[in-house]
């Protein structure tokens, strides 16, 4: 059963009323970023984006659609897996030291406008950080109880390839509510995913969707699947990565890659961190901080005697073969959801779909 | 308590092994970390300096860790005087599995400080000497002065192990072997199909030793990988070697499973 919602102002108000901090897209510094929305008016009505390898521009749309833009520079990752967080404090005592763990009151978030690709990315982070023997409690505390409102994608960007990765453009589970926007009409089709979603919907004005409207919404999402700006066939990707470790293409991409790590920062699933132990000037007080780290950093693989991966080639190879290949072995899925952020935010426009295609061609040539 | 919080331990004794390496005897200040299996490691914390993954060099009621001074953290740890408090997290990783190798001939091959994680497995087997076949210990060190556990080697021999030591550079007093550890492989007494080998040392040493043992006919050769680690619990991503997170899927792995990855430069 689907419903119709006239605008999302009531939805936003109900979320705030229910005690949520609402995070969603808004225009800031000429980009569509994710930030706290004071009201539904903060949504980027009438803004779209133009994307290309190494390029991102917002542009005015002819209509007033709120969600007719694809991925911006952020994913939902920073809200769940903090870029920098204190793990504990320690102070010197007479017979040694004493450790006090950092206790954080986890915010109660509602995520408004999660793309299906990004929803899958959150699921991947869940598996990495909480799905194994050791659970990242800080992540879990932030993740538990996030109210998720998906907006199905009807406006894929030039660098999108969720269809190849099987993550979009529509979401079929993992959300509390899922919206499909009728661009420019101010109306949304609503699907309910959970009881919490149903409860929230019950608090705001909505009406049953007529079959014609529902069919039209589904057709819009289906049509979006045919308008992906990129493709990267998933079949055989894992084997391609495993079999390409000595490919010549790595030298080619290493000639362009700056090892800046932007791709890992914008990636919604890159989870790597490091810890930093710091002290104050007295030496009586120490802290441990965890912060995002990147496999492109030279120190990332440092061992006594030097780093394992010193060349650019080996670091790009580590990133790509992990993301598309060994991630399966480690965490049971691909690490890529096809959002295209790494293509857009690469300062030299390295496009992983192009790199994969080149590796495929090279593999076929050497097979033949 | 979270997985990232160190458990306080006290250094009760410190034995200088070489000019840069010391063995610390450790006792918990309160509740201990869970029991350690031979081959596992802990994340050792020096207050105000930082944390490093260090293998456990004696398991059981008396716990020991042998630390070589190669950086700020290991220097602070290796220099810890008796009475000093340090922090431990763990134990982490897969052990050698010596417990499951009952009835087999055992080969231990340690290069330099690589002997440290092998020691608890060797001591485990020597305590149950009758349960194992022939036991050979091959040790390689740069010079006689770089040899760790030197005072214990005769005891290991008395308890039924063949112990062979080689050094890269001899000094005037040295009467033993000189050369690479691989040159000792022909001294191994083992029935190859019924033998398990445990190899630890610099990566290049492990590769050549494992290859030499395989050439001799051994099929069960296990090595202990070393990679950068920032957490020990599978979150930080630093310790990857191909499809493995070394902290979680290692550090001990069958050599055959990683031989091809180790041949790839900078993997």
DSSP string, A181-210: EETTTTEEEEEE-SHHHHHHHHTS--EEPP
Q: Which of B2, B74, B234 sits opposite A101 (nearest CB)?
A: B2
Look at A314 and B266 and tell me if their CB atoms are within 8 Å. Answer: yes
Q: How far is A192 from chain B (nearest CA, A)?
A: 33
Residue B70: what pLDDT?
Answer: 95
3-state percent breakdown (helix, strand, coil) of chain B, nearest 5: 30, 35, 35
**Chain A residues 121-140 with a CB less than 8 Å from chain B:** 128-129, 132-138
A296: contact with B, CB 8 A cutoff = no
Look at A271 and B235 and tell me if their CB atoms are within 8 Å. Answer: yes
CA A320, CA A240: separation in Å to the nearest integer? 11
Express as a percent the part of chain A with pLDDT over 70.
100
Chain B CB contacts of A313 below 8 Å: 266
- Select from A176, A206, A227 the last residue of a domain: A227
Same domain for A219 and A241? Answer: no
Mutant choice from A308, A310, A322 vs B, greatest count of B C-beta within 10 A: A308
Residue A366: what pLDDT?
Answer: 81
Q: Is position A90 within any domain?
A: no
B131: contact with A, CB 8 A cutoff = no
Look at B238 and A272 and tell me if their CB atoms are within 8 Å. Answer: yes
Same domain for A258 and A215? Answer: no
Q: Which of A129, A310, A329 sits opposite B235 (nearest CB)?
A: A129
A306: contact with B, CB 8 A cutoff = no
Q: Which of A99, A132, A303 sits opposite B234 (nearest CB)?
A: A132
In tens, the pLDDT along B150-196 reads 999 999 999 999 999 999 999 999 999 999 999 999 999 899 999 99
Question: Residue B247: which of B236, B259, B258 has the closest Cα?
Answer: B236
Residue A368: what pLDDT?
Answer: 58
Please compute, for residue A95, the number of CA atoms within 13 A of its CA located in the half-sphere on the CB side: 6
Same domain for A162 and A198? Answer: yes
Q: How far is B135 from chain A (nearest CA, A)?
A: 31
Residue A184: what pLDDT?
Answer: 82
Look at B5 and A101 and tell me if their CB atoms are within 8 Å. Answer: yes
B87: contact with A, CB 8 A cutoff = yes
Chain A CB contacts of B48 below 8 Å: 90, 92, 277, 279, 283, 286
Residue A301: what pLDDT?
Answer: 97
CB count in 10 Å sphere of residue A205:
12
The mean pLDDT value for B200-211 works out to 97
Q: How far is B49 from chain A (nearest CA, A)?
A: 6
Look at B4 and A318 and tell me if their CB atoms are within 8 Å. Answer: no
Collapsing DSSP to helix, strand or coil, B254 comes out as strand
Q: Is position A19 within any domain?
A: yes
- Select from A202, A227, A252 the last residue of a domain: A227
How far are the Cα atoms of A52, A134, A293, B52 from residue B87, in angstroms, in the given order? 49, 19, 24, 11
Q: Is position A232 within any domain?
A: no
In tens, the pLDDT along A343-356 reads 999 999 999 999 99
pLDDT band at B2; cut points 50, 70, 90: confident
Domain that holds residue A250: 237-367
The mean pLDDT value for A125-136 works out to 95
A366: contact with B, CB 8 A cutoff = no
pLDDT band at A66; cut points 50, 70, 90: very high
Look at B233 and A133 and tell me if their CB atoms are within 8 Å. Answer: yes
In tens, the pLDDT along B106-161 reads 999 999 999 999 999 999 999 999 999 999 999 999 999 999 999 999 999 999 99
Look at B5 and A88 and tell me if their CB atoms are within 8 Å. Answer: yes
ipTM (interface pTM): 0.94
CA B104, CA B159: separation in Å to the nearest integer? 17
Domain boundaries, chain B: 7-92, 98-224
A290: contact with B, CB 8 A cutoff = yes
Q: Give the mean pLDDT of chain A.
A: 96
Same domain for A205 and A285? Answer: no
Same domain for A44 and A109? Answer: yes
Question: Residue A345: which of A41, A57, A47 has the closest Cα?
Answer: A57
Q: Is the pLDDT of residue A367 over 90?
A: no
The mean pLDDT value for A7-26 works out to 98
Indicate if the alpha-carbon torsion angle A292, A295, A301, A302 is positive or negative: negative
- Domains: count for chain A: 2
Same domain for A217 and A245? Answer: no
A104: contact with B, CB 8 A cutoff = no
Q: Is position A223 within any domain?
A: yes
CB pairs under 8 A between A and B: 120
Same domain for A188 and A261? Answer: no
The mean pLDDT value for A223-233 works out to 96
Question: Is there a contact between A67 and A217 (Cβ–Cβ < 8 Å)?
Answer: no
Residues in chain B: 267
- Which CATH number describes the domain made up of B7-92? 2.40.30.10
Chain B CB contacts of A312 below 8 Å: none
B130: contact with A, CB 8 A cutoff = no
In tens, the pLDDT along B71-85 reads 999 999 999 999 999
CA A240, CA A317: separation in Å to the nearest integer? 12
Q: Is position A297 within any domain?
A: yes
Q: Is the pLDDT of residue A285 over 80?
A: yes
Residue A305: what pLDDT?
Answer: 84
Residue B231: what pLDDT?
Answer: 96
How far are the Cα atoms of B33, B106, B154 from residue B126, in angstroms, in the given order? 25, 11, 13
CA B123, CA B58: separation in Å to the nearest integer? 8
Same domain for A151 and A270? Answer: no
Same domain for A36 and A154? Answer: yes
Residue B85: closest C-alpha in chain A: A96
Look at B230 and A101 and tell me if their CB atoms are within 8 Å. Answer: no
Q: How far is A169 from chain B (nearest CA, A)?
A: 29
Same domain for A21 and A155? Answer: yes
E strand spans, A76-124: 84-93, 96-101, 109-114
Do you find a cis peptide bond into A111, omega within 30 degrees of 0? no
- Select from A196, A227, A258 the last residue of a domain: A227
Look at B266 and A129 and tell me if their CB atoms are within 8 Å. Answer: no
Same domain for A262 and A119? Answer: no
**Chain B residues 59-78 with a CB less than 8 Å from chain A:** 70-71, 74
In the CATH hierarchy, which fold is given to the domain comprising B98-224? Answer: Rossmann fold (3.40.50)
Residue B233: closest C-alpha in chain A: A134
Residue A87: closest C-alpha in chain B: B4
Look at B240 and A303 and tell me if their CB atoms are within 8 Å. Answer: no
The mean pLDDT value for A291-317 works out to 96
Q: Is the pLDDT of residue A192 over 70?
A: yes
Collapsing DSSP to helix, strand or coil, A111 comes out as strand
Same domain for A223 and A243? Answer: no
């Amino acid at each position: 059963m689907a419903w119709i919602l006239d605008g999302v102002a009531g939805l936003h108000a109900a979320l705030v009323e229910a005690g949520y901090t609402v995070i969603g897209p808004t225009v800031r510094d000429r980009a569509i970023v994710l930030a706290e929305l004071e009201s539904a008016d903060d949504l980027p009505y009438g803004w779209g984006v133009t994307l290309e390898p190494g390029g991102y521009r917002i542009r005015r749309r002819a209509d007033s659609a709120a969600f007719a833009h694809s991925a911006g520079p952020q994913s939902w990752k920073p809200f769940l897996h903090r870029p920098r967080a204190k793990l504990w404090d320690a102070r010197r005592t007479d017979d040694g030291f004493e450790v006090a763990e950092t206790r954080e009151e986890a915010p109660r978030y509602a995520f408004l406008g999660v793309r299906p690709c990004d929803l899958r990315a959150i699921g991947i982070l869940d598996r990495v950080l909480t799905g194994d023997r050791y659970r990242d409690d800080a992540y879990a505390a932030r993740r538990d109880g996030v109210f998720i409102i998906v907006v199905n994608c009807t406006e894929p960007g030039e660098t999108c390839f969720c269809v190849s990765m099987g993550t979009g453009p529509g979401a079929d589970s993992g959300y509390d509510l899922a919206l499909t926007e009728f661009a420019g009409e101010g109306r949304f089709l609503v699907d309910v995913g959970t009881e919490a979603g149903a409860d929230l919907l019950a608090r705001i004005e909505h009406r049953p969707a007529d079959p014609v409207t529902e069919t039209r919404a589904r057709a819009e999402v289906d049509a979006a699947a045919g308008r992906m700006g990129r493709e990267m066939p998933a079949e055989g990707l894992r084997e391609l990565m495993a079999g390409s470790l000595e490919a010549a293409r790595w030298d080619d991409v290493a000639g362009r890659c700056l090892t800046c790590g932007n791709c890992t920062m914008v990636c919604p699933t890159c989870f790597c961190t490091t810890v930093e132990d710091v002290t104050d000037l007295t030496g009586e007080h120490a802290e441990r901080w965890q912060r995002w780290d990147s496999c492109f950093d030279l120190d990332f693989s440092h061992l006594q005697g030097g780093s394992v991966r010193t060349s650019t080639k080996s670091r790009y190879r580590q990133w790509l073969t992990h993301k598309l290949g060994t991630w399966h072995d480690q965490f049971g899925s691909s690490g890529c959801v096809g959002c295209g952020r790494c293509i857009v935010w690469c300062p030299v426009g390295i496009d992983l779909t192009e790199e994969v295609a080149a590796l495929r061609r090279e593999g076929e040539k050497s097979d033949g | 308590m979270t997985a990232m919080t160190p458990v306080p331990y006290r250094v009760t004794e410190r034995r200088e092994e070489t000019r840069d390496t010391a063995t610390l005897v450790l006792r918990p200040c309160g509740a201990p970390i869970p029991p350690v299996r031979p081959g596992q490691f802990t994340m050792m914390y020096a207050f105000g300096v930082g944390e490093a993954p260090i293998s456990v060099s004696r398991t059981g009621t008396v716990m020991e860790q042998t630390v070589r001074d190669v950086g700020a953290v290991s220097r602070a740890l290796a220099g810890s005087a008796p009475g000093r408090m340090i922090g431990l997290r763990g134990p982490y990783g897969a052990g050698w599995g010596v417990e499951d190798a009952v009835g087999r001939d055992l080969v231990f091959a340690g290069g330099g400080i690589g002997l440290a994680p092998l020691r608890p497995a060797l001591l485990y087997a020597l305590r149950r000497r009758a349960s194992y076949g022939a036991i050979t210990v091959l040790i390689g060190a740069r010079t006689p002065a770089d040899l760790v556990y030197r005072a214990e080697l005769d005891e290991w021999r008395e308890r039924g192990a063949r112990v062979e030591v080689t050094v890269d550079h001899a000094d005037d007093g040295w009467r033993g072997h000189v050369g690479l550890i691989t040159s000792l492989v022909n001294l191994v007494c083992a029935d190859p199909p019924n033998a398990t080998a445990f190899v630890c040392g610099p990566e290049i040493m492990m590769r050549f030793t494992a290859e030499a043992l395989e050439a001799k006919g051994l099929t069960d050769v296990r090595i202990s990988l070393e990679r950068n680690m920032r957490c020990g619990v599978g979150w930080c991503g630093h310790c990857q070697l191909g499809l493995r997170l070394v902290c979680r899927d290692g550090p001990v792995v069958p050599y055959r499973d990683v031989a091809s990855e180790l041949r790839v430069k900078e993997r």
